[in-house]
């Protein structure tokens, strides 16, 4: 069945951010272009969404390169994409009416025309829309999957989290505590962020990795070693953490942001040490956990409501600021989730 539902005045054109050129090393504003385009007519089964918030995420750096990966590269001269939330303003789908709030993957633009089955309705009376891009989105699900399945936290564990003042890390530190960790250590760049780890996100110890001697700081924080490490950084963080693992420790390989702008990855950890300590290092992609997304959102919405989970956002205003927000998330301009408000 096809229904048509159109709100009073619909825009005929919209703006999007396209990949203008592939970066060599660190990206810059020159790699992006702001382009105005007509909005196509809706086909049967499609919806028109006015995006209100979009996410910028470190993994998007990999999509700017033209190389085989777990997700296709962005195309030069085409709109970029990523998670967004918005309001349906026209619908030719029986499943999603005008007025619904939905999440989808056609971010980096002010309006999106998409097949209704590619959109997920969300209940924005239960939580603010942008939370569905952060603690209630893939960010939160990543932290949850990492610490409950990939490198499960057991009561009494000592847990180390890198990029701890960021989106995944700030959720992970709080989850580790809720899962029974006796000591949760976070590393972040600079004194303002380390203060936030202690005061807002419930970490027991905060390490400023920019101050140097990461190994010494971690040894002081956990003289008897660590049981679980959530790695968002790779490189030196991973080497130092593996060297500090207790026997049968567990490492969730979530990201490796310290190497995202390099042509080759950073040098790895001492794997012989990992072998003889029976340490497991396990990679993960959040998409493998989409089957439990609904269940996770239910739990996390309750944690947000009762204060178990506290969040921070860094918000850039307007689509034209999206490239700056993205460059900022790569360089640490954010605390908590980096977001762009579109309207």
**Among 325, 327, 289, which Cα is nearest to 138's?**
289
Query: Is residue 194 at the binding interface for ligand NAP, with CB under 6 A as the rule?
Result: no
Number of CB atoms found within 10 A of residue 294's CB: 9
Q: How far is the CB of 57 from ligand NAP (least distance, A)?
A: 5
Q: Are residues 187 and 214 in contact, defined by beta-carbon separation less than 8 angstroms?
A: yes
**Per CB under 6 A, 81 contacts ligand NAP:** no
Considering only residues 263 through 322, tell me which ones interact with ligand NAP, judged by CB under 6 A. 284-286
Q: How far is the CB of 169 from ligand NAP (least distance, A)?
A: 5
State how far the Cα of 250 lies from the Cα of 258, in Å rounded to an integer: 21
Strand pairing category for 205-208 and 183-188: parallel
Residue 233 lies near ligand NAP (rule: CB under 6 A)? yes
Q: Is 255 in the site for ligand NAP (CB under 6 A)?
A: yes
CB of 128 to ligand NAP, least distance (A): 18
Question: For 175-199, b where at least 16 C-beta lie within 10 A, e where not — what string?
Answer: bbbebebebbbbbbbeeebbebbee
CB of 173 to ligand NAP, least distance (A): 12
Candidate residues 16, 57, 87, 204; the one interacting with ligand NAP per rule CB under 6 A: 57
117 near 249, Cβ under 8 Å? no
Q: Does 188 sit near ligand NAP (CB under 6 A)?
A: yes
Position 167 contacts ligand NAP (CB under 6 A): yes
Q: Total residues at the site for ligand NAP (CB under 6 A)?
A: 29
* Strands 84-91 and 46-55, sheet pairing: antiparallel
Main-chain phi, psi angles of 46, to 5 degrees: -105, 160
| Residue 136 touches ligand NAP, criterion: CB under 6 A | no
Q: Does 163 bind ligand NAP (CB under 6 A)?
A: yes
The whole-angstrom separation of Cα 116 and Cα 101 is 12
Which listed residue (166, 173, 186, 249) binds ligand NAP by CB under 6 A?
166
Binding stretches for ligand NAP (CB under 6 A): 57-59, 138-139, 142, 163, 165-169, 188-189, 193, 209, 232-233, 254-255, 257-258, 284-286, 329, 332, 334, 338
């Amino acid at each position: 069945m096809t229904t048509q539902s159109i709100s009073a005045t619909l825009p005929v054109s919209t703006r999007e951010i396209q990949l203008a050129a592939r970066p060599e090393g660190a990206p810059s504003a020159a790699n992006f272009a702001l382009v105005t385009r007509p909005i196509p007519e809706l086909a049967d089964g499609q919806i028109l969404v006015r995006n209100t918030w979009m996410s910028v995420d470190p993994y998007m750096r990999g999509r700017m390169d033209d190389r085989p990966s777990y997700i296709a590269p962005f195309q030069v001269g085409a709109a970029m994409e990523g998670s967004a939330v918005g309001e349906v303003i026209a619908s030719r789908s029986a499943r999603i009416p005008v007025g619904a709030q939905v999440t989808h993957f056609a971010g980096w633009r002010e309006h999106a025309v998409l097949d209704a089955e590619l959109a997920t309705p969300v209940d924005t009376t239960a939580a603010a829309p942008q939370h569905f891009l952060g603690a209630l989105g893939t960010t939160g699900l990543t932290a949850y999957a990492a610490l409950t399945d990939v490198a499960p936290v057991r009561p009494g564990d000592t847990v180390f989290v890198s990029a701890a003042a960021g989106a995944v890390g700030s959720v992970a530190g709080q989850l580790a505590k809720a899962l029974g960790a006796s000591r949760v250590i976070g590393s972040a760049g600079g004194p303002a962020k380390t203060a936030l780890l202690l005061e807002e996100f419930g970490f027991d110890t905060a390490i400023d990795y920019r101050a140097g001697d990461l190994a010494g700081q971690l040894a002081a924080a956990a003289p008897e070693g660590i049981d679980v490490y959530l790695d968002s950084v790779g490189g030196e963080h991973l080497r130092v953490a593996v060297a500090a693992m207790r026997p049968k420790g567990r490492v969730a390989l979530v990201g490796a942001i310290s190497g995202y702008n390099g042509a080759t990855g950073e040098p790895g950890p001492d794997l012989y040490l990992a072998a003889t300590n029976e340490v497991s290092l396990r990679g993960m992609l959040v998409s493998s956990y989409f089957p439990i997304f609904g269940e996770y959102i239910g739990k996390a919405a309750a944690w947000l409501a009762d204060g178990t989970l506290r969040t921070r956002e860094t918000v850039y205003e307007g689509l034209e600021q999206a490239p700056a927000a993205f460059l900022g998330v790569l360089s640490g301009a954010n605390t908590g989730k980096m977001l762009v408000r579109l309207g």
